[in-house]
């Protein structure tokens, strides 16, 4: 029997109804980053039912399951568990029951797929050898979870993987699998800025130093970084997503607070943009007569996600044989960011190859009527991740279990001699 057929048969044997129930339960009871206690308990219970040896509390609320089946390669499968501070507007019958919290990024689906994949592999042990490490990771949205799990001994307390795998649902017509070899997600940094002025009465601006005016100048000038300092062949985004100042219409406040993100296709480009941000913020504060220099603090940083070429070919090949070539697409790199690649570094500095792919999950009924004559036009007109209207087609669960099962089997069967030697890597 071919590997692709085996993967499809194993995936079909998982308890689909149970996976859908788990998904609906997790969606209705979302938990924010670092507080995924209920979710972790449900994952552990489900994995132990399939004979997986589980450890809870890794890196906070993380769960690590080990499914051993004799000698062979070790494959790590990761799913994220946390939700977002978003008020749901999807209208789903299993919508969030937690005020202001929603699984708006599909992590509930990823978690259910992880459990379904574990079940498929556990029930089909006679078809594979080796070890599968199943990681339910907390706090992906804050960029803290992967580092916390690694810092808590992920690769010291559990089998060190030969390869890491992860998948993420996205907007786009359900049934496709999106693979990118090489850079797939951007490096990112989140920055908090405080501008210091001198407050006073709105009728006497001459006696004040208005931090709102300075902050507005900063917002405008920051847009010139990508427009005027970055070469057109390079890809970057600078977004100011928060601007807070003042308490009343007739009071000029003493401070203004800005929150922004920087996304870049490489760490080098990210560092150049960060240097420009610091330069512009300081210069605009000086030009506006700020009473003191600004406070500039990088509060979160995530590295670029760069897929290993060999693993990307291996996984894309098994998916092509499973689903057909017309279902496999290459959308190119995106500007979103992930902390998944933080798991790909061992304590002695060895980089572990990995592959991260997307599963479009927009219901076809929604996709077909979306405005636009091209896929890219339609893509911008359907609810996507982080939207309060994000409502993936639950059928993506079975598709995801099949996709991950096939990827795991392909990597367990990979010829170690063809695997690129681990390289030493540095992470700032």
| 214 and 351, same domain (yes or no) | no
From CA 191, how far away is CA 38, in angstroms rounded? 31
| Tens of pLDDT, residues 322-377 | 999 999 999 999 999 999 999 999 988 899 999 999 999 999 999 999 999 898 89
| 84 and 180, same domain (yes or no) | yes
Domain end position, chosen among 248, 272, 302: 302
**CA 6 to the chain's CA centroid:** 29
| 261 and 315, same domain (yes or no) | no
Q: Which domain holds residue 396?
A: 3-185+304-424
| 193 and 112, same domain (yes or no) | no
| 39 and 109, same domain (yes or no) | yes
From CA 250, how far away is CA 121, in angstroms rounded? 65
pLDDT of residue 418: 53
Q: Which of helix, strand or coil describes residue 77?
A: strand
| 73 and 143, same domain (yes or no) | yes
Q: State the virtual CA torsion across 258, 264, 269, 275 in degrees, nearest 10.
A: 0
Mean pLDDT (whole number) for 248-260 = 97
| 175 and 198, same domain (yes or no) | no
Sequence-separated (6 or more) residues with CB below 8 Å from residue 290: 195, 196, 197, 209, 211, 214
From CA 380, how far away is CA 171, in angstroms rounded? 9
Give 276's pLDDT tier (boundaries 50, 70, 90). very high
Q: Which of helix, strand or coil describes residue 292?
A: coil
Q: What is the CATH number of the domain that holds 170?
A: 3.40.630.10
Q: Answer yes or no: is pLDDT of 426 > 60.
A: no
From CA 81, how far away is CA 43, in angstroms rounded? 10
| 181 and 191, same domain (yes or no) | no
pLDDT of residue 396: 98
| 30 and 173, same domain (yes or no) | yes
Domain end position, chosen among 244, 276, 302: 302
Mean pLDDT (whole number) for 220-225 = 97
Q: Answer yes or no: is pLDDT of 296 > 70.
A: yes
Mean pLDDT (whole number) for 172-189 = 96
| 16 and 146, same domain (yes or no) | yes
pLDDT of residue 347: 87
From CA 103, how far away is CA 86, in angstroms rounded? 8
CA dihedral (170, 176, 177, 181) positive or negative: negative
DSSP β-ladder status, 255-264 and 236-245: antiparallel
Q: Answer yes or no: is pLDDT of 194 > 60.
A: yes
Domain end position, chosen among 253, 279, 302: 302
Average predicted confidence (pLDDT) for the chain:
94
Q: Which of helix, strand or coil describes residue 206?
A: helix
pLDDT of residue 90: 96
| 295 and 323, same domain (yes or no) | no
pLDDT of residue 349: 87
Count up the domains in the chain and report the number: 2
Q: Answer yes or no: is pLDDT of 96 > 50.
A: yes
Q: What is the CATH number of the domain that holds 244?
A: 3.30.70.360
| 241 and 308, same domain (yes or no) | no
From CA 97, how far away is CA 302, in angstroms rounded? 31
């Amino acid at each position: 029997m071919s590997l692709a057929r085996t993967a499809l048969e194993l995936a079909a044997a998982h308890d689909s109804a149970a996976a859908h129930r788990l998904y609906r339960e997790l969606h209705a009871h979302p938990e924010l980053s670092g507080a995924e206690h209920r979710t972790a308990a449900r994952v552990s219970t489900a994995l132990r039912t399939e004979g997986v040896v589980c450890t809870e509390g890794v890196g906070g609320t993380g769960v690590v399951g080990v499914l051993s089946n004799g000698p062979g390669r070790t494959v790590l499968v990761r799913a994220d568990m946390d939700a977002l501070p978003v008020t749901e507007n999807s209208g789903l019958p299993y919508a969030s029951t937690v005020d202001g919290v929603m699984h708006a990024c599909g992590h509930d689906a990823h978690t259910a797929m992880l459990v379904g994949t574990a079940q498929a592999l556990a029930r089909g042990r006679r078809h594979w050898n080796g070890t599968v490490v199943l990681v339910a990771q907390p706090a992906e949205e804050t960029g803290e979870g992967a580092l916390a799990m690694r810092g808590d001994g992920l690769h010291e307390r559990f089998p060190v993987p030969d390869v890491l795998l992860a998948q993420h649902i996205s907007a786009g017509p359900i049934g496709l699998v999106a693979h990118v070899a090489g850079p797939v997600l951007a490096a990112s940094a989140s920055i908090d800025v405080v501008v210091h002025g001198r407050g006073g009465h709105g009728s006497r601006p001459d006696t004040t130093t208005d931090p709102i005016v300075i902050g507005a100048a900063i917002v405008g000038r920051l847009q010139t970084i990508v427009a005027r300092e970055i070469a057109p062949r390079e890809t970057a985004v600078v977004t100011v997503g928060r601007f807070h100042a003042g308490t009343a219409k007739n009071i000029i406040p003493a401070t203004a607070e800005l929150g922004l993100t920087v996304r870049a296709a490489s760490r080098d480009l990210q560092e150049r943009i960060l240097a420009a941000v610091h330069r512009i913020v300081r210069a605009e504060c000086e030009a506006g007569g700020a009473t003191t220099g600004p406070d500039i603090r990088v509060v979160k940083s995530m590295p670029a996600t760069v897929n290993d070429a060999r693993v990307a070919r291996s996984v894309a090949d098994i998916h092509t044989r499973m689903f057909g070539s017309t279902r496999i697409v290459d959308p190119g790199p995106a500007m979103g960011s992930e902390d998944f690649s933080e798991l790909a570094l061992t304590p002695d500095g060895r980089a572990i190859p990995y592959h991260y792919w997307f599963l479009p999950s927009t219901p076809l009924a929604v996709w077909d009527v979306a405005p636009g004559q091209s896929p890219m036009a339609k893509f911008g007109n359907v609810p996507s991740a982080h939207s309060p209207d994000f409502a993936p087609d639950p059928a993506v669960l079975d598709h995801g279990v099949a996709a991950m099962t096939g990827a795991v089997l392909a990597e367990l069967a990979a010829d170690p001699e063809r695997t690129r030697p681990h390289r030493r890597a540095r992470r700032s």
